[in-house]
Chain A
Amino acid sequence: MYSKAYKKLVALPPLLWVGLFLLVPYALMLAHSFWAVHDGMLVRQPDLHNYVTLFSKPVYAAVLVRTMRIAAAVTLCSLLLGYPLAYYLSFHAGAPKELLYQLVIVPLWVSYLVRGYAWKTILGSEGVLNGFFEYLHLTHEPVAFLLYSPFAVVVMLTHIYTPFVFLPVYAALEHIPRGLVEASEDLGAGAAQTFLRVILPLSIPGLLAGATFAFVLSLGDFLAPLLVGGASGTMIANVVQSLFGAAYDWPLGAAISVGLLIITVSLLFLSERLEKRWRY
């Protein structure tokens, strides 16, 4: 029913805009990754030396491994917090379910910076937590490792991504036909067995989606390490950020970004495939 002109008219502006301000910049990032900087000048002569540097200098691999470990820890912690919460809400919460659900998702949209700052004031050596410990006479000197450590980064990012994990898991759990759970119990399965053999497998797609979100978004985070991570909590995106700042080597920074982009997109692709396999 829509005319050709209508279709052209609605498709063209966003196509042009997205092409110019998303596709071209991404392509430019790829191009930069093959260029070089000599004496503070950008040299547009393509070769692979940035990628050679990334693979030959162990420092980059080391930061990447640390980043992956932090992201994995965040994913695991978010799952350990978000999954049981979703399970409780979906199967046991009763009437206040809807309200509790809203309470979980409101922080999802609340300022990242505000929440990061809150953790900074809690975990600092003169922070709220150390003050609390001293008040209870548990410690006499501040516990230093709380802030400016990978631990702090994991705590802060877990706080941010737990609702991200909760959401798809909850949606998956809500879609499980309750008849299946009752059938399992009627046929003599215990609670644990019903959970492991009926509920858990049926919630795998939601779990995968949530875990992918938490992992991928943590992987590219550079603000949490700056805010609460300190030197020992530096992640791969911080390396990129310093290469684009004081270190002034955009091409090398672009090469790392391209690597990050490839890892992110492949993980998304992989998890989408896995989710499809588990979908019933």
Chain B
Amino acid sequence: MSGHSRSRRGAPLLVYAALVFVFIYLPVIVLILYSFNRDGVGGFPPRHLTLAWYRQLFADAPLWDAVLNSLKVAAGSVALSLTLGLLAALALDRASFPGKALFRRLVLLPLILPGIITGLSLLMFLVFVGAQLSLFTVFLGHGTALISVATTELFAGLQKLDRAQEEASLDLGATPWQTFWRVTVPNLKLSLIAAGLLIFTLSMDEIAVTFFLTGRDNTLPLEIWGRLRRGITPEINAVSALILAVSVALIVIWHRVRTRGLGADAPELLERP
């Protein structure tokens, strides 16, 4: 097997792989390009490049209200799902209790179930208990669904943890409470940051669950969704381009942090429930 024959064999494959990359990235490139197009979101070629749509975007008060709403929901979801996800990961790692296997599957279920099912079942629950739909119910939905993400990420972190350190801490007279805050949590710091970033991004982008749980206040994706029905302008391209930039930045940081915390061969997040 010579290197030469191998690379020749790889040539058509290389072209094919390049085409797949084009398919994956073309929509994103088109989107960004047309955010500078004076005459609308379609047509070819784009001409009369302008920053007008970005100016319009920055002056668009309802849109920024929606951004603020999304930030609130995302921050709350990070706090809620990290707390419960950490406890769940600790329980799965260390405790044994009846129904543990069922619990594991249940926690991870929102990861793989269609968003509409998670959203609607929570809607039925909220209506059943007589709750008003609002940003709070959106937060409840995001926070609950994203416990799945927090649990998988933090469980992976716990598996790599050296338990001898906790043992030493307990042997040297620290209380379990002190041990938790001074040994367990600091050791999990990178996993916690990575999980938090991921949950934040996912919550900012979430639409399927939000769709059914939102009250009068819109999150950013729902605000955009509403505008899509009223006719589209490159302003939506512009806001999409900004969302894209922010989520790519967060994901790149997430990946860096995660690789540092878990090592290159960390199990991927998308493990089945």
Residues of chain B contacted by A13 (CB below 8 angstroms): 83-84, 87
Q: Which residues of B contact A104 (CB under 8 A)?
A: 21, 24
A109-B251, A220-B117, A257-B116 known, 17 other contacts, Cβ within 8 Å: A13-B83, A15-B103, A18-B84, A88-B14, A92-B13, A107-B24, A109-B254, A111-B240, A118-B240, A126-B43, A128-B42, A130-B42, A132-B44, A135-B44, A168-B268, A220-B115, A222-B114
**B124 A88 Cβ-Cβ under 8 A:** no
Among the listed stretches A45-53, A54-62, A196-204, A209-217, which one makes contact with chain B, having 4 or more residues with CB under 8 Å of it? A209-217
Residue of B nearest to A220 (CB): B114
Given A17-B84, A118-B28, A128-B44; A237-B244 close (CB under 8 Å): no
In the complex, how many angstroms separate the beta carbon of A272 from the nearest chain B beta carbon?
6
Nearest CB of A to B258, in Å: 12
Q: State how many residues of chain B have any CB contact under 8 Å with chain A.
A: 91
Which residue, of B96, B140, B147, has the highest number of chain A Cβ atoms within 10 A? Answer: B147
Return the contact of B144 from the options A21, A126, A213, A241 (Cβ within 8 A).
A21
**Do A3 and B21 form a contact, CB below 8 Å, given A13-B84, A13-B87?**
no
B181 interfacial by beta-carbon distance below 8 Å: no
B205 & A112 in contact (Cβ 8 Å cutoff): yes
B55-63, B71-79, B105-113, B185-193: which one contacts chain A? B105-113
Interface band, chain A: 35 or more
Say if the beta carbon of A240 comes within 8 Å of chain B: yes
Q: How far is the CB of A51 from chain B (nearest CB, A)?
A: 17
Q: What distance in Å separates the Cβ of B3 from its nearest Cβ neighbour in chain A?
A: 10
CA distance A277 to B152 in the complex (A): 25
Binary contact readout A72-106 vs B (1 if CB under 8 angstroms, 0 otherwise)? 00000000011011011101110000000011111
Q: Could you list which residues of chain B lie within 8 angstroms of chain A, going by C-beta atoms?
A: 1, 6-7, 9-10, 13-14, 16-17, 20-21, 23-28, 30-31, 34, 40-45, 83-85, 87-88, 90-91, 94-97, 103, 106-107, 109-110, 112-117, 120-125, 128, 140, 144, 147, 163, 166-167, 170, 176, 198, 201-202, 205, 207-208, 211-212, 221, 224-225, 228, 232, 236-237, 240, 243-244, 247-248, 251-252, 254-255, 268, 270, 272-273
User: In angstroms, how far is the closest chain A Cβ from the Cβ of B202?
Assistant: 7
Cβ 8 A contact of B94, one of A10, A92, A130, A272: A10
Please report whether the interface of chain B is mostly helix, strand, loop or mixed according to DSSP.
helix
Q: Of A21, A88, A162, which contacts B16 at CB under 8 A?
A: A88
Query: Interface residues of A: mostly helix, strand, loop or mixed?
Result: helix
A32-B128 Cα distance, complex, nearest whole Å: 11
Report the minimum CB–CB distance from B15 to chain A (whole Å).
10
> Would you list 15 pairs from A and B whose C-beta atoms are within 8 A, ordered by A residue?
A6-B94, A10-B87, A10-B95, A11-B95, A14-B107, A28-B124, A84-B20, A104-B21, A109-B198, A114-B243, A131-B44, A240-B120, A253-B120, A261-B113, A264-B114
Q: Is the CB of A81 within 8 A of B23?
A: yes
Are A24 and B44 closer than 8 Å at their CB atoms? Answer: no
Does A191 interact with chain B (Cβ within 8 Å)? yes
**With a CB–CB cut-off of 8 A, which chain B residues contact A117?**
31, 224, 228, 232, 236, 240
Which residue from chain A places its CB closest to the CB of B40 in the assembled complex? Answer: A126
CB distance A134 to B44 under 8 Å? yes
Asked if residues A217 and B114 are in contact (CB atoms below 8 Å), the reply is: yes
Question: Which residues of A pack against B, CB within 8 Å?
Answer: 1-3, 5-8, 10-11, 13-15, 17-18, 21-26, 28-29, 32, 81-82, 84-85, 87-89, 91-93, 102-107, 109-115, 117-122, 124, 126-128, 130-132, 134-135, 159, 162-164, 167-168, 171, 182, 185-186, 191, 209, 212-213, 216-217, 219-223, 227, 237, 240-241, 244, 250, 253-254, 257, 260-261, 264, 268, 272
